[in-house]
Amino acid sequence: WTSFTKLEQYSREYKYVIVMPEGNNGWYTDSAKLENANYESYIIRELSAEIEKKFRVKKSRESRAIAGLSMGGFGAMKFAVKYPERFVLAGSFSGALRAAEWSEKELSVTRWKVLIESVSNSFGAADSEVRKQNDLFGIVRSKSSDDLKILPFLYMDCGTEDILVLENQRFAKLLLEKKVAHEFRQLPGAHNWKFWDAQIQEFLKLSKKFVK
């Protein structure tokens, strides 16, 4: 974000502390296989508390948003639906929203073959409990209508030339069926920094409506 976009410049008019945690290839998940690769626990339990301790920030849900691209888009959406009490707004840019469903067979026939190892390490076998706990679609489907009403506002976008556009369309359809407050933008673009540089500006503009 700091090297390939102008986020620093775009964010100057906003009174935000922008935190960019290291996620490596861990899919923002407590790994099913690797020790000391508990990225979900780190971000949700440890990082927020550390930021609130070190910086003069507001500690309420209404003052906290989360967003990310690709793997980070999956992480942001997952945290938003698993921990709705923590965020008022969540954003996904070209999100890999079906990551917890991806099988080795599916990945091997796409350009995402390089992700086989990280997906396996993070989520485990096809029938693992970790996959169930991190299945974004499954989490939304399992929530009651009352629980769905308290989810953060969910923002998603994806380029029409991006291989991930189909799963973004599917998730947007699910949110529509479940009457979850959201916005989905599908527009010309690919899975690249040009697209994300443009869309982070849109997310910042949208944040004015929600972040207090």
Alpha-helical runs (H) found in the chain: 7-10, 39-41, 48-54, 71-82, 104-108, 116-123, 129-134, 136-142, 145-149, 165-177, 193-207
pLDDT in tens, the chain (212 residues): 999 999 999 999 999 999 999 999 999 999 999 999 999 999 999 999 999 999 999 999 999 999 999 999 999 999 999 999 999 999 999 999 999 999 999 999 887 889 999 999 999 999 999 999 999 999 999 999 999 999 999 999 999 999 999 999 999 999 999 999 999 999 999 999 999 999 999 999 999 999 99
> CA dihedral in degrees (190, 192, 193, 199; nearest 10)?
40
pLDDT at 111: 78
